[in-house]
Amino acid sequence: MVNIFRTDNGKTHKLEEIVDGAWIEMSAPTTEEIQHIVSSLNLEKDDVMAAIDPEEKIRVEVDDEYTLILVDIPAKEIRHNVDSYTTIPLGIILTEHNIVTICSEETPILNYFHDSRIRDFSTKKKLRFVYQIMLRTAMFYQQVLTVIDKTRTEFEESIERITDEQDLVNLHELESTLVYFATSLRGNGNVLNRLTRYGRLQQYPEDRELLDDVIVENQQAIEMTQIYRDIIDGTSDLMSSILDLRLNKVMKRLTSVTLILSIPTVISGLYGMNVDTQWMPLAHTIHGFGIICLITLIICIFLMLYLRKKKML
């Protein structure tokens, strides 16, 4: 899908054709749409396709005709039948008269610009537009990180009731998401550092202050990611300790039960041996079998009480 926008007098208008000062938004574009934009703006098709490739690296490429900026943004996906987050590339191409954004799917980061919800937004001030996109990206990372931490908190509160392996998978997915975020945020930080030395396009006085804000927000997102990774690592260790403790308790109980059951086994085995009955206690006593069973039961009860006192049962 391709949408064309242009701001006039502080208002964002949707256009049907490409004009100077317009923003061309490409979300999950078709091959025909890509070819149309490439031919209309004299772009390299590989540069446009790079923003759709999920394995493409974050970078800034300066060409004679235009500049390509690739950053990573958060996106939802399904992993192991669980709603998770990952990162996908967002391409920004700055030409002499236009700015083009390319993404493999529609993202809420760019939706803020559709209805003029961003202060001082202008499609004609291309470098400021890039900074504003980067700012919204950093803030969106922080929003998603807050959701992840809330999920982690709910998981931690119910950790004593964990019995299903799916819970372990969910925790692993949170940890994997934070790894993706940490890598992408560091890459975005490198892009911002490159833009601080970018002198090809005109920068307005307030652009430098905006860039500083973007750098601060991105660094804050990096720190949040690291903190939440450390917390989840602690949660994983806690969960491992709890599972080991549960296993130890089960093994202690099984050992105690085995010890109690061994008493009747030993006694019945002794009386079942092929020996002269004159040497076996209670062998010729009336109700001797019942007495032996009662003695065995009493021994087992005393042993059970002793093991419970020692917290073995």
- Asked whether 241 and 234 are in contact (CB, 8 A), the reply is no
Cα-based angle 284, 274, 272 (whole degrees, multiple of 5): 70
144 vs 75: CA distance, rounded Å: 9
pLDDT (0 to 100) of residue 161: 67
Task: Give me the half-sphere count of Cα atoms (radius 13 Å) on the Cβ side of residue 128.
Answer: 18
242 vs 248: CA distance, rounded Å: 10
Q: Record the pTM.
A: 0.76
pLDDT per residue of the chain (313 residues) written in tens, 0 to 9:
888 888 887 787 888 888 888 888 888 888 888 888 888 888 888 888 888 888 888 888 887 788 888 988 888 877 666 677 888 888 888 888 888 888 888 888 888 888 767 777 777 888 888 888 898 899 999 998 998 888 888 777 776 666 666 667 777 788 888 888 898 899 888 888 887 776 665 566 777 788 888 889 989 999 998 888 888 888 777 777 777 788 888 888 888 888 888 888 888 887 777 666 676 777 777 777 888 888 888 888 888 888 888 777 7
pLDDT (0 to 100) of residue 220: 92
132 vs 101: CA distance, rounded Å: 13
CATH class of 246-309: mainly alpha
What CATH code would you report for 2-245? 3.30.460.20
CA–CA distances in Å: residue 208 to residues 99, 140, 142: 19, 21, 22
pLDDT (0 to 100) of residue 254: 87
Provide the residue ranges of all domains of the chain, joining segments of one domain with +: 2-245, 246-309
pLDDT (0 to 100) of residue 175: 83
Taking each continuous run of H as one helix and of E as one strand, the counts in the chain are 7, 7
